[in-house]
Homo-oligomer: A and B are copies of this chain.
Amino acid sequence: MGPMGDMTEPRWLTDEEHHVWRAYLHATTLLEDHLDRQLQRDAGMPHVYYGLLVQLSQAPRRRMRMTELAKDAKITRSRLSHAVARLEKNGWVRRENCPSDKRGQFARLTDEGMEVLRRNAPGHVAAVRQALFDRLSAEQVKQLGEIMRVMAEGLEPAGPDADLPWLR
């Protein structure tokens, strides 16, 4: 802490930082909105839900424990419970009991869910491409990757008393 304690003037953002921050907020907001809309229209679900199906499709037996899935998707378990309930109603996911831990649940991607994914993957990839990868140079893609990696690292302290979403 500085010599003036809590009275120290905070380090405000420089002009450049301020502009970058605004650009960040605008770009990320617009993109998430765009993808949400595209998927809601074509696949009948928001982007986060689609992401859950993708995760499941890549898991060993197309199934994952709830907490593991929440952790990978960076969402709370509560949110996941609701999401899976909805996806189950759609017939795209099925819950299964975990034999080795009776508290546990698996979420498994059904064939129907797999099919939804197949049908919508091209459109989704196209949307991501069009918004991001087709507009950035190879250099910029590399830079973006590194920047995002640094950011995520800072927000996932992994420390013993960290406040991670999937534990809340």
| Chain A residues within 8 Å of B, Cβ to Cβ | 10-13, 16-17, 19-21, 23-34, 37, 51, 74-75, 121-122, 125-126, 128-133, 135-136, 140-156, 163, 165
Pick from B13, B33, B147, B153: contact of A140, CB below 8 A. B147
> When the two chains form their complex, are residues B74 and A29 in contact, meaning their CB atoms are under 8 A apart?
yes
Q: Say yes or no: A150-B135 contact (C-beta < 8 A), given A26-B74, A30-B74, A145-B23.
A: yes
Q: Secondary structure of the A side of the interface?
A: helix
Given contacts A27-B151, A33-B74, A122-B10, contact A145 B51 (CB under 8 A): no
Q: A144 touching B145 by the CB < 8 A rule?
A: no
For the complex, give the distance between the alpha carbons of A16 and B140 in Å: 12
Say yes or no: A140-B146 contact (C-beta < 8 A), given A125-B11, A151-B27: yes
Copy total for this chain: 2
State in angstroms the CA–CA spacing of A99 and B101 once bound together: 66
Residues of B within 8 A of A155 (CB): 27, 30-31, 34, 131
Would you call B129 and A150 a contact (CB within 8 A)? no
Cβ of A39 to closest chain B Cβ, rounded Å: 13
Interchain CA distance A122-B30 in the complex, whole Å: 27
Q: How far is the CA of A140 from the CA of B149 in the complex (A)?
A: 12
Cα-based distance from A129 to B18 in the complex (angstroms): 11
Question: When the two chains form their complex, are residues A135 and B154 in contact, meaning their CB atoms are under 8 A apart?
Answer: yes
